[in-house]
Copies of this chain bind each other. A is one copy, B any other.
């Protein structure tokens, strides 16, 4: 990392990229990026150009010497990279729409990270991630892979379990979103908050919460058991837990917990969206079109505020904060996805977890959290079982294993319905699932 840092962003044509660029600009003093390589595939070329040009205008306006490279040649980009970030989406938003709509057509939540939709996102994504890791081992073996692509838990699990590249961190904006929400709830500055996060990606709990280092958990749980306060995180509507339930649970939940503790209500809402053509994928497709219209404006040289509605809030901050802490050996505490190694007692040592870590130049080092409360261990293990079987299916392309992952998912009500969903989704995503179909094609 001699003369400035080389960052490679795979899926660089994403609408999120301006957020990331803003982050690099803001932290340039501590994180002197020299080259930013935005990589995309042929189908994303146009968006890559639009976003890339906006990035250049943003950097020019900030007066910084960061070079922006746009390329479709991933291997050229990876050469000697210091950090590789992944935010690509195999099959684009069309695929996400299928991930959501096919399960819903069977009366089942799609849930694009830990549900049937998430399984297929994993099946499409993991083989590509493994190829990237393969390239990295050759072209930039000391680089860190910072993965934002969902399902981040299953992806991190797959890289840890099926490759020997241990320099991977899975990153999610949910924990930072919870911190922001709690800060707002307490009406104090975010910097004063620290939460002990432990669990899995999109299945993370806040075991304790501190203001200026002093636990305020009792007060926060009291506030959260008031239904008025429960909607403290954006993008997924108000949690509105039954007060006695959240009081007995006695840990902070994340928005995705609603899929499991309010399955019925979430399903009703999504079935309505399904009928109205307003599932999240469809809403996002609309938002994205509008965003790219904005990005095209040659006078635009900042991240437009509309991006926040996209759901990427705090991504920039989380990502650049993490990269900077690694680069600078900051040893501050951040919640990331990494290998457990004893941090959470009831999860195997060699599995991926999302947990508060000290971030060092040699990567994240989890802080011990003892064990999760009894009441949440079951659900966490169930998602962990799902992640592991799903990752195995993605790597092997084995139909039976995929059906097993589908059926043990807590949102799927039977092996029979699971099989129906699986079969329709395999067919729908066929072109992006070579490990499942290669043999047939030959």
Chain A residues close to B by CB (< 8 Å):
194, 210, 212-215, 241-242, 244-245, 247-249, 261-265, 267, 328-329, 331-333, 340-346, 348-349, 358, 360-362, 365-370, 374-386, 388-389, 398-401, 403-405, 407-408, 410, 413-419
10 A-B residue pairs with CB within 8 Å:
A213-B329, A215-B362, A242-B415, A262-B416, A264-B413, A331-B332, A379-B385, A380-B381, A381-B381, A381-B382
Q: Chain B residues with Cβ under 8 A from A369's Cβ?
A: 341-342
Known: A340-B368, A358-B358, A378-B382. 18 other contacts (CB 8 A): A210-B329, A210-B361, A214-B362, A242-B416, A242-B418, A248-B403, A249-B404, A263-B413, A265-B414, A341-B369, A346-B346, A346-B381, A358-B367, A375-B389, A376-B385, A378-B384, A378-B408, A379-B385
Is the CB–CB distance between B263 and A362 below 8 Å?
Answer: no
Instruction: Report the Cα distance A365→B356, complex, angstroms.
Output: 11
Q: Chain B residues with Cβ under 8 A from A404's Cβ?
A: 245, 248-249, 375
Instruction: Report the Cα distance A382→B381, complex, angstroms.
Output: 8
Instruction: Report the Cα distance A236→B358, complex, angstroms.
Output: 33
Q: Chain B residues with Cβ under 8 A from A340's Cβ?
A: 368
- Interface residue from B365, B367, B386 paired with A378 (Cβ < 8 Å): B386
In the complex, residue of chain B having the shortest beta-carbon distance to the beta carbon of A243: B400
Q: How far is the CB of A206 from chain B (nearest CB, A)?
A: 15
Q: How far is the CB of A225 from chain B (nearest CB, A)?
A: 10
Q: Chain B residues with Cβ under 8 A from A414's Cβ?
A: 261-265
In the complex with contacts A349-B345, A370-B342, A404-B375, A214-B245 CB distance below 8 A: no
- Interface residue from B331, B413, B419 paired with A244 (Cβ < 8 Å): B419
Instruction: Report the Cα distance A319→B320, complex, angstroms.
Output: 35
Instruction: Report the Cα distance A213→B328, complex, angstroms.
Output: 8
Q: How far is the CB of A87 from chain B (nearest CB, A)?
A: 26
Q: How far is the CB of A392 from chain B (nearest CB, A)?
A: 8
Instruction: Report the Cα distance A361→B96, complex, angstroms.
Output: 44
Q: Chain B residues with Cβ under 8 A from A329's Cβ?
A: 210, 212-213
Q: How far is the CB of A401 from chain B (nearest CB, A)?
A: 5
Q: How far is the CB of A36 from chain B (nearest CB, A)?
A: 23
In the complex, residue of chain B having the shortest beta-carbon distance to the beta carbon of A196: B365
Q: Chain B residues with Cβ under 8 A from A215's Cβ?
A: 362
Instruction: Report the Cα distance A401→B388, complex, angstroms.
Output: 31
- Interface residue from B332, B366, B370, B417 paired with A367 (Cβ < 8 Å): B366
Instruction: Report the Cα distance A244→B362, complex, angstroms.
Output: 28
Q: Chain B residues with Cβ under 8 A from A241's Cβ?
A: 415
Q: How far is the CB of A400 from chain B (nearest CB, A)?
A: 4
Q: Chain B residues with Cβ under 8 A from A419's Cβ?
A: 242, 244-245
In the complex, residue of chain B having the shortest beta-carbon distance to the beta carbon of A208: B362
Q: Chain B residues with Cβ under 8 A from A374's Cβ?
A: 385, 388-389
In the complex with contacts A213-B360, A381-B378, A248-B400 CB distance below 8 A: yes
Instruction: Report the Cα distance A212→B417, complex, angstroms.
Output: 38
Instruction: Report the Cα distance A126→B343, complex, angstroms.
Output: 31
In the complex with contacts A242-B403, A400-B248, A368-B370 CB distance below 8 A: no
Instruction: Report the Cα distance A244→B404, complex, angstroms.
Output: 8
Q: How far is the CB of A411 from chain B (nearest CB, A)?
A: 10
Q: Chain B residues with Cβ under 8 A from A417's Cβ?
A: 264
Q: How far is the CB of A288 from chain B (nearest CB, A)?
A: 32
Q: How far is the CB of A194 from chain B (nearest CB, A)?
A: 8
Q: How far is the CB of A378 from chain B (nearest CB, A)?
A: 3
Q: Chain B residues with Cβ under 8 A from A348's Cβ?
A: 346
Q: How far is the CB of A10 from chain B (nearest CB, A)?
A: 26
Is the CB–CB distance between A341 and B370 below 8 Å?
Answer: yes
In the complex, residue of chain B having the shortest beta-carbon distance to the beta carbon of A385: B378
Q: How far is the CB of A387 from chain B (nearest CB, A)?
A: 10
Instruction: Report the Cα distance A34→B329, complex, angstroms.
Output: 35
In the complex, residue of chain B having the shortest beta-carbon distance to the beta carbon of A343: B368
Is the CB–CB distance between A365 and B368 below 8 Å?
Answer: yes
